[in-house]
Structure formats: C-alpha cells, structure tokens
Structure 1
Amino acid sequence: MRAKQHGYYKVGTNKGVPRIWLQGGNLTASNFHKGQPFETVFNIDTRTIVLRLLDTPNENCRFVSGRVNNKTKIVTPIIELAKSKLIDITGQATKVRVDFYENEIHISIHHLDCKIEEREARLKRNVTNGEITKGVVCVGIGVSAAAGHDALSSQLHCKTKFVVDRERKYLDLLTQNNHAIDGTTKIFEASLEEIEPELLDYVDILSFSLPCSGMSLSGRSKNRIKIPEEHATDATAVFGLIKIIDACNPSILVSENVVPAMHSATYVLLKSLLAMYGYNIAERTLSSEQTNSFENRERYWFVATSQNLPTVDLANFPKFAPKYSNLASLLDCIPHASNMWKSTKEKIRKAAVNKAAGKGFGFNLVDPNITQRIGTIGKGYQKDRATECHIAGPNNTMRLLTPSELARAQSVPAHLIQNVCDSTAYEGLGQGVDFLQAFGIFQCLLRDVLTN
C-alpha cells in the first residue's frame, strides 16, 4: 500500500491534553469525508496511531467532523485527536508525521523528535555508566581534542570514536602524540564534504572547527573575497558538517572559530538549522582575559545542547591563574651565537617604508621582559612575518619563538608537538586553539549538563 500524501504536523494541547488536528484535502485524499465512521487504533509499542474507515458504524467508532463554507458550500473534513491516551504515543515529541493512504491514515512520531529522544537517551545511558563518546571534525593536531578529553576524563571515561582532517601530516602527528586518540579511534583523511555517513558512529559530543581561511579578515583579504562563502575550497565544508551531524546525532556540539565567523552567513544558517533540529545554543568569545595564557588568541565558541538537556552557562566560564609572570619566564635559553638570532635592520627598514606608504605592516619586536600578552600567532609564523611576535635580543638582534615556547604561550601540553618538524608544529599551533579555552568549555559542559 502506497501513501497518497504525507504531512508533518505539530502536537498541540487542549486543556492540558495533547491534540493532533487534521483537516482539508489530505483527509479527502484518503476518503475521510464529513460524517463517515472510522476507528482509532493506538499501538503503544510502535508509538503509532492508525485511523481506519469503517463500512458501518459501531459503538467504539468516531465520525469525521467538518465545516461548511457558507459561500462556496464546500465541506472541509476535520479530525481532532485529543485524548490523554495520546501522551503514551507522543511522549515529549512536538511533531508527528501523518501518511494518508486509501481509507487509512497512519500517524507516527516526527523523525526529528525520534532523533532527539534517541540521542538524549543514549547520553543518559552512557553518563549513568560513567562514560562519554566524542567525535572531532577538522581536528588539526588535536589541541581541542586533548583539552576536551582531559576535562571530561576528570569524571567520565572519555572515548574519541573518530577524528576527521584532510591533512595527513596532522593525522600522523595526532596518532603519534595525542592522548585523546587510541588504537580504536577511527581516522578519516578526508574533506567534510566527501565523508560517507554510513562510515560514522553515533557519538554523544561532536566537536568541530570549520575552516577559518575565509572567515578571518586577513584570510578574506589574502583570498580576495568579500564574504567567507566565496572561498574556493572551504565554503562548502558546512554542508559536509551537516551530513556528519545527521549521521552521528550528537546530544552536544562544540564549535570554535575566529571571531568574524560568529556573524557569517555560514554560522547564522548553521545555528538556525540546529535550532530546527532541536538544539539550544549558547555562545561567547574567549581570550587570554579568561585563560591567562600568554598568547591572546581571541576565539568564538558556541555550544549546542539537545533541547531537553540543560543549556550550558558560558557566562560562568572558569578563571585560570597565570602560569608565567612575563614572556621571559616561558622562553628557552637560546645562546646568542645561535643562527636563530638575526639582525633587525631589514625589518626596521621595511617597517619605515610601509609606514611612509600608509600601510599598516609594522614590525612587532617584543621585549622579553613584558608582562602583557603577545598577539595571535598564525599558521605561517615560520615565514618570519614582520607583524607577528619577534623576541628582541642583544645587539639589535631578534628571533622567533620556538615551537615549544609557542606551545607554552598557548598553554598547550608539550607532548602534542613532540618529535615533529618545526614547520608542522608552527602550522598546527598557529591554526589551533588556546588549550585552556577548550578545557574550560568542556568543564562548563561537565558542570552544567553532564553531571547536573
């Protein structure tokens, strides 16, 4: 038997009792006309309702209601289901799917409500058993993955079921050094768009950072685009992400990106879709003001929690004590004879030329005794760009931070970049996160949602 029509309808209330209201041409398509008798069959096990036309009335049947248009005399059939027994079928569901067959109407729980119930039940079951599962998308070298693992593992057994990244060198580094990954973690070397959903597992938490090359102001300038959605390779990543969300149906989503992403069309539409999927979203920007990390890496975070879970309170973000009193206290001892030290002469000359030309590319020479935070260091730091942090040395010399020093400035555990070439370490850290921002976000989740 093939349905003639399908409809998706809200579950309303009438005097505190659930109500499903059907009217119009869909009833007519199933031959449910005003005055005709039908029976109502509730199936608690399958959570379905079947309305079936009867040839003759019986003592338990109902009749199709309706209204007549006084002008056109057209009769509109109406069926109202409003019984306390309905709650046994709908539960917390807010919508139903209705399939209109010949002489029958089938009512079932809306697929989005089914997904809400399934993921929340899975989360509750896992947390009750003292465990939590996680997937990480656009994982990079896994700074956020490690931070989330550490925060959650303080009270739950945290299992990273899969990670996704399109860079093989990051995945190799991740599997070599990152304690959030073990031999059972599934590794995907892929863009988000090409992931096949059937290869993914269900997870309780999905953490992601959509590519930021088109989101940042510098990235837009470099790529000569006006909006992030014009980026040649990264703009469509959000479509792959949505496919992944559909497949693994997490109860919690955690997102990090550059601050301009907050009001991009990509993120506005993504958050609207998540609201339709039944998530509540909390968001805020974080910087070294909250973490006291020595590099000031301002980032936009949002946390989406399934609708029947508590909303995370990001305004009540934990405060971390500073680990270093000044820049010098996190620096390695680099002998002045080292070839890392270079003359500042050319950088000063170019800065003067740029200033005279009205360009904003100054030379960022930093006294090691400073106590204020250094600016954000990008993934191309090894290119020795004038505007990023240069440590001032003796006799008009300068040097870049070493990868180990940069990791300390970002509060990143040293072992995450152990035994890796400097260029990969700089790239991974430069496009990563302040470890304590991610750690604090997952602490908030643990406090407000998972142990509430």
Structure 2
Amino acid sequence: MMESPTELLAQARARYTQSQLAEQLNVSDRTVARWEKGESPMPTMVAPALREILNLHIPASAGDFTFIDLFAGIGGIRKGFEAHGGRCVFTSEWNSWAQKTYLANFPDDNEESHTFVGDIQPFPAEEVPDHDVLLGGFPCQPFSIAGVSKKNALGRAHGFEDATQGTLFFDVARIINQKRPAAFMLENVKNLRSHDKGKTFAVIMETLQEELGYEVHTRVIDGIYFTPQHRERIIIVGFRKPTDFSWEDLELPPVGPKLDTILHRTDGTEPFLEWDGDRFFDHDNLEVQPKYTLTPKLWAYLQAYAAKHKAAGNGFGFGLVHPSGTSRTLSARYYKDGSEILVAQGAGRPRRLTPRECARLMGFDDSFRIPVSDTQAYKQFGNSVVTPVMSEVARIMTPHVAKIIAPVSPQSLSA
C-alpha cells in the first residue's frame, strides 16, 4: 500500500529538520509547518519529492549538531555540550542577572545566527529554531494531578497539555512536541523522583514516553566524581528513535578531586586573571581578600546554632571543610552565611568560598567571567550544574544523536 503524503512527510520530519526539507522542496519553513499541522493541503508533487528524499541514506557526523538551551542560567549545560561539537542556536533565561553573566561568556549570542529570549512561557514553539537536541534544567513545580485523574475516571483522553499546563515543564513538552528534536537532556534535583509523592515524576515520564513517544533513560549522577562537591542530580535523556544508549558507558573516575584543586593558592602560584584582578585574591599579599572571612558575630552565631541542634539530637549546623576533603552541595542561599561550606583557616575564623572558587567547584574554568556582584554570583553558581557532568553526558549521547539526525547537505540532496 502506497503511503500518503502526510505519512511521507512524517517520515521525512523524523529524519530531517523543517529547514532542510523546506530548502529541498523549494518552500518556506512555515509552509512545511502548516503541512504538518494540517492547516493547508500538500500539493500532489510533494509526495514523489519526499519519496526521493527518503531514499537517500547519508551517514551522520558525530561532532556536528545543534541544540537549544532552555532555563539556561549561566550556561553550564551549554558548556558541556559545546565541548562535544554542539552549536547553540537558541537560549532562554528569564533572570536579568543570569543573562548578564551568560552574555559575558557567550558574546556570540548577539549575532543573527542565535536567538536569545527571556521568559520562554509566552514564546511560540513554532518560532523556536529547528534543533537536534533540546537542553534544559527546568524548575520543579507541582502538577495538577487531580485534573488528570478526573479525566481518567470519566474515560476521557488527556495529553501533556492537561497534565502539565501551568508548569515550566509544559514549555519543554510543547517545544518537543512542535520541533521533534532528535534528543533531549533534562536536569533536575535528585528529589524530583519523590516530589509530590512521586506524582510529578510520573507525569513527566508519562508525558515524555507515552504522549511524546521518546525513548527515555534516567540516572542520578553525583558531581563528586568530577569536582570536590557532593551534588546529586537526576539526568533525563530521551531519543526520538530507539537506540542502544546505556548509562554503563559513563566514565566515572574511581577517585575524585579534593578541595585543594579549587581553592586559591597562597604559595605564589595563584594565576592572575585580568577579568578578576584582585577582587577575590590579593596577589601582592598572597591571601584571600579579608572580606570573605566570617565576622566574629556571625561565627559565634553559627557555632551556637550548631551546638543547639546537636544538643537536640539533629545534625543541623555549619560544614567546615579542609583542603584535603570535599564539600557539601553548594546552594543558591550560600550568599546568606556560607554555612554549608566554610573553609578552615587554622585557629582563626573560617571563611566563605570566593565566587571564583565557587565557579571552580562547579567545574567552570578560570576563563569564565563573573560580571555580577558576589551575592548574585553565589546565587548563580548555587543554581548551576557541574559542567564536567554535562560534558560526560554529552559524550555518551552524541553518537546516538548522530545516528538519528543523519545530516544532509543541499548538494547531496540535489545531486
């Protein structure tokens, strides 16, 4: 039985982007989009052209793919995927301070080849550029389970819009639904699995697998393998087509680095960074700037607070760290008192990490610029990702992405 033009278009879109098809069919991207939505009929001549395109078998390249960066923060996920051949074509980040840091480190985003938007919620999915991989560290929000359960009880169908509307995950889902990327990678806190008694994660998985039809793999990865910080995050990877993807391909070092690898060095070997100057470290006196040492009042308060909770039989208190050890998870509230990671200074009062040390703790190298205040920097690094983790995930994803996207050049299609 001969396939219909609609079926042929669906097959072609599973292999190629809207732009690639539009160019070969000599129509606009919007025309292809209208055909997909059924808003306008396809001319008779389109069917044989699509069959010709589908008969081409062109190998994919493992080091050439495009991606979009949603809920981008300061670009930690992006850095990991750029390290393995990815090119960012679209970014969304609503926080103006995070935007400042992001654009200071990715200045090419002001060029026409890249789109940068603030809030993704009002942005039309059809205007998001075609891309091979969708990336996003979306915030966790409760979903309206009641509405879904009611529809199930009534025997009425529901889709991801009903299950996820009003949450930021909905924006991830609607873009995947519209653009059908070859793959996606989503990152969130480990507790996403237990959030709202597991209901949130259940809706996410049902949406990605059942509603959107992707092959999905999840894994909790601790950043301790790559930086001296315990930071467990859930990684959700999905592919548009079946793959032999396996988390067993991850290469996790048997022993991770210690804090001395990220702390300012007082032996004269601390590099002088033009963009930092002496903001964090006094290069003349070879010492961390005094403002990062806790005041006597704050140190007394934290010790009393810890003693109070120890007497009550719980473990609340500050986290004192040494160069030979590792740290707790850096949080966005670090700017308040720094209590979760306090660097010991002999018999004296401990100090906070400097923003540069926080950047290193998250895996950002010293070329990463910090153009915002310390308060904003602490929030940004506390909300970011461990970039080497993202790089390792990108490494094991890209071969499978390459097999799916099978890049096509205009020359080869017109030959």
- TM-score where L is the length of structure 1: 0.63
Contact 2:62 2:401 in 1 (8 A): no
Of residues 71, 77, 82, the one that matches 1:149 is 82
- RMSD, matched Cα: 3.3
Task: Confirm or deny that 1:240 pairs with 2:195.
Answer: no
SS at match of 1:109: helix
- 1:383 alignment partner AA: K
1:418 is aligned to 370
**How many angstroms apart in 1 are the aligned matches of 2:74 and 2:255?**
24
1:287 is aligned to 222
2:116 is aligned to 187
**How many angstroms apart in 2 are the aligned matches of 1:207 and 1:161?**
11
Report how far residue 427 of structure 1 moved. 1.3
Task: Confirm or deny that 1:375 pairs with 2:328.
Answer: yes
1:300 is aligned to 234
Task: Confirm or deny that 1:163 pairs with 2:116.
Answer: no
Report how far residue 286 of structure 1 moved. 0.6
The 5 Å alignment of 1:4-403 reads 86=1, 88-89=2-3, 108-109=6-7, 115-118=13-16, 127-128=60-61, 131-151=64-84, 153=85, 158-178=86-106, 181=109, 183=111, 184-190=113-119, 192-212=120-140, 236-263=167-194, 264-276=198-210, 277-289=212-224, 291-308=225-242, 310-320=243-253, 324=257, 326-332=258-264, 333=266, 335=287, 338-342=290-294, 343=296, 344-366=299-321, 368-371=322-325, 373-386=326-339, 388-403=340-355
SS at match of 1:161: strand
Q: Deviations over 1:140-180 (max 9, x none)?
A: 000111111112x2xxxx32110111112212221111378
- 2:73 alignment partner AA: G
Which stretches of structure 1, 4 residues or more, deviate above 6 A after TM superposition?
Answer: 110-114, 120-126
Q: Deviations over 1:376-421 (max 9, x none)?
A: 01011111153x1101113330111111112222222233343332
**How many angstroms apart in 2 are the aligned matches of 1:117 and 1:329?**
44
Report how far residue 260 of structure 1 moved. 1.4
Contact 1:292 1:321 in 2 (8 A): no
Q: Deviations over 1:3-51 (max 9, x none)?
A: xxxxxxxxxxxxxxxxxxxxxxxxxxxxxxxxxxxxxxxxxxxxxxxxx
**How many angstroms apart in 2 are the aligned matches of 1:129 and 1:292?**
24
SS at match of 1:423: helix
**How many angstroms apart in 2 are the aligned matches of 1:429 and 1:440?**
19
**How many angstroms apart in 2 are the aligned matches of 1:356 and 1:322?**
35
- 1:146 alignment partner AA: K
* Structure with more relative contact order (C-alpha pairs < 8 Å, separation 6 or more): 2
**How many angstroms apart in 1 are the aligned matches of 2:88 and 2:230?**
28
1:129–1:292 distance in 2 versus 1, CA, 3 Å:
closer
Point out the more displaced range, 115-124 or 394-403: 115-124
Contact 1:194 1:240 in 2 (8 A): no
SS at match of 1:408: helix
Unaligned runs of 5+ in 1: 1-85, 91-106, 216-233
Report how far residue 257 of structure 1 moved. 0.6
**How many angstroms apart in 2 are the aligned matches of 1:399 and 1:213?**
34
- 2:335 alignment partner AA: Q
Q: Which structure has the bigger radius of gyration?
A: 1
Report how far residue 311 of structure 1 moved. 3.8
**How many angstroms apart in 2 are the aligned matches of 1:278 and 1:130?**
25
**How many angstroms apart in 2 are the aligned matches of 1:112 and 1:271?**
24
**How many angstroms apart in 2 are the aligned matches of 1:443 and 1:129?**
10
Contact 2:75 2:102 in 1 (8 A): yes
1:128–1:317 distance in 2 versus 1, CA, 3 Å:
closer
**How many angstroms apart in 2 are the aligned matches of 1:451 and 1:283?**
20
More helix by share: 2
SS at match of 1:166: coil
The 5 Å alignment of 1:411-450 reads 411-450=363-402
- 2:98 alignment partner AA: Y
**How many angstroms apart in 1 are the aligned matches of 2:396 and 2:300?**
48
- 1:376 alignment partner AA: T
How many residues get paired?
320
Q: Deviations over 1:360-390 (max 9, x none)?
A: 4212122x2333x21101011111153x110
Contact 1:126 1:132 in 2 (8 A): no
Report how far residue 121 of structure 1 moved. 11
Report how far residue 339 of structure 1 moved. 3.0
- 1:319 alignment partner AA: L
Report how far residue 440 of structure 1 moved. 0.3
Contact 1:145 1:180 in 2 (8 A): no
